[in-house]
Structure 1
């Protein structure tokens, strides 16, 4: 195991005993356990994750096996410039311990939620390892084809609709996790995001054929926080609890023997934000969809989402409905988030590795500019923003 992934000392037999004997289950005896890294480099940017195979016995019965997935806060990395805030991790704990149980009492079983187990460590979550059931994570470089985008958006619609029902019953619960992660707070987090925009502004000026986009990137850089605040403002049409990080690596698919999608689960609820439905949809579009899908099938996919949203709102006995015209306005109102996602989020997602704060050279501004230059000129970032800028241009964003 990589020394940087060495598990903490508290991840031991006593910890797993507490997890498996919780929720009033029979007395258990932990016989053996094996810990391994949960994900590879670049598959999770905000947490340390481990897979654990536990052999145990309940009340003297035959040996049983449980496969778990342990998720805990990271201790170093460039992304800490933004998420060095307890609320970031607390929000996900609240989602699993309070919001989802309340939502299921209101609307029934939410099959996209992964089962959890009690954890005695603060901000650490224990999940069922659903990879053993056949669930797989997509590859960020390959992105998602039409059929996977379709099923993902239908599940997103179910999640959104269930949060509308929850907000009617328990608005305080929604408010407890719904504050935006990306907002103007302290200088450290501000400068990190501002630097990404400043770097891209410098880079796009070197790209031939992109001259017409330079001014809009300049304005986006100068007005970053004002435009984000506008994007996150509450809407009169409908407000939902957005997942906030709805992209390829946080959507798990289970396929049958013919390769058809049977089930979908969502993970990583650390960045939830209460507001327009456009927030999640723009984010998903520009982080996860294949470029041919972006270019040719967005209207079809958006209509699939809208129909599913209204269907689930009806099923969950919510009076709200969203018309096609209202949906179009929501997407237009939140278009800046498409720019933000393409420039900032995709820059982070396609970063080759964490930048350790212990490495003075790699923490320097010059190094970070070089890294941004490498990412933005790379085979994954540039085609995506090329497609996105053309889409926004076609939809009148640059005429504002």
Structure 2
């Protein structure tokens, strides 16, 4: 008899049962017979941290069945179970094949990328997945390996941001090498967050993120000296879908393409802190959530990350230094993999400027979410954000925050000085 523990009394789908976890262990451990003794459930993330999925942390106690002359040794293993319930509000996720893409990334792409590095690891170990009754994928628990999320509601300092950019440089570089060896991969990874499939076939995406843009426009229109910027943002809002799609689409003159993570904000990477003498200094980083990955300009990931996840003072003082950290790691990884033609730093700067609109999207669509106080974020979901009264109440509170206003003021003036608003 398998014991079930659920101390937090969380809601768990019925199919996450003994049979499911026996199959997960047998697949993940490459074992033919597992005897499961106990299943313990708890939340794998805080409510509101994940808009499109439910994350469970599951501790399993089990034994590998041996022959009759040997005793069975009890083991335990912590797994992360990610479920993606498809509702009317989240149906657009099926249009960009998030489940199939994430499974392929973990089972095929990441292992091939990691072979091309000097011992780097980009993601969790894949164990098991099912499509029915709900799209579900199982990984090893990165918390056991010492990883944890950065502090929720806080943008990143130099130590955290620069470490992410070093690892991103390696991910982008190895994906270029892989694409050269296997060009068909580029064709398979063509739809990301701002793809036509996401935007043109659904109103949900625009209702949610377009609502954040309207909230920004409302507050910007009250700032002296921002009248022109307010009009430019209104033009973005009036042409929301076409501007967003154009921000990610291939362009004439693109210098090079890489595999973008596609959703590079603070909930989608985890840090390890291995130096006991500097407990706040991250030493390792790993990516999670590859469901929106796509081959495209490296500046999509970079501008999205810089405009959504980095402290304002750091952007003001050391933005160029961050880009140089990324490029050095990118170039070093390409040299290690013996790629003949390495994009120049000038190529990277060209890409960054050509995709600044992608960064504007992150500025209004994700920066407010990332910096949102925990008491506001706990009720966040795509479904709740379709409720007009709920959304308006959230937006008014979010956009009244001074630190967010300061960040938007600086970033929008920077975009104006660069001529970004003339790009659409």
1:224 to 236, 240, 254: 240
Q: Which residue of 1 aligns with 2:25?
A: 20
> Kindly tell me: are residues 356 and 152 of structure 1, through their superposed partners in 2, closer, same or farther at Cα, counting changes over 3 Å?
closer
- Paired residue for 1:279, among 300, 311, 327? 300
Is the deviation greater in 154-163 or in 257-266? 257-266
1:6 correspondence with 2:29: no
Distance 2:309 2:387 in 1: 30
SS of 1:6 mapped into structure 2: coil
Partner residue in 2 for 1:170: 182
Question: Which 10-residue stretch deviates more, 333-342 or 251-260?
Answer: 251-260
> Deviations along 1:62-93, whole A, 9 cap, x unmatched?
21110111111045696x37535461232211
Post-superposition CA distance 1:167-194 (Å, at most 9, x none):
1222333332331232332242364243
Question: Counterparts of 2:16 and 2:411 in 1: how far apart (Å)?
Answer: 43
Report the Cα distance in structure 2 between the residues aligned to 1:369 and 1:279, rounded to whole angstroms. 29
Partner Cα separation in structure 2 for residue 4 and residue 365 of structure 1: 31
Q: CA RMSD in A?
A: 2.7
C-alpha change, 1:301 and 1:331, in structure 2 (3 Å) is same
SS in 1 for 2:122: coil
User: For 1:230-249, what aligned pairs fall within 5 Å after superposition?
Assistant: 230-234=246-250, 236-249=254-267
- Rounded Cα–Cα distance in structure 2 between residues aligned with 1:288 and 1:114: 22
* Cα distance change, pair 48–355 in 1 and its aligned pair in 2 (3 A): closer
Listed as ranges, the gaps of 5+ residues in structure 1 are: none
| Corresponding position: 1:186 with 2:201 | yes
1:160 aligned partner: 172
Give me the whole-angstrom Cα distance separating, in 2, the residues matched to 1:380 and 1:71: 33
* Aligned counterparts of 2:15 and 2:365: Cα–Cα separation in 1: 35
CA–CA distance in structure 2, aligned partners of residues 120 and 89 of structure 1: 10
Tell me if the contact between 2:260 and 2:293 (Cα under 8 Å) persists in the aligned partners: yes
Whether the aligned pair in 2 keeps the contact of 1:253 and 1:262 (CA below 8 Å) is yes
Are 2:109 and 1:91 aligned?
Answer: no
Contact 1:32 1:54 in 2 (8 A): yes
User: Hey, what does 1:269 align to over in structure 2?
Assistant: 290
Consecutive unaligned residues in structure 2, runs of 5 or more: 1-5
Kindly state the Cα deviation for residue 195 of structure 1 after the two structures are TM-superposed: 3.7
Q: What's the secondary structure of 2:79's corresponding residue?
A: strand
* Residue range with higher mean Cα deviation, 58-67 or 100-109: 100-109
Q: Among 58, 63, 67, which residue is 2:78 paired with? A: 67
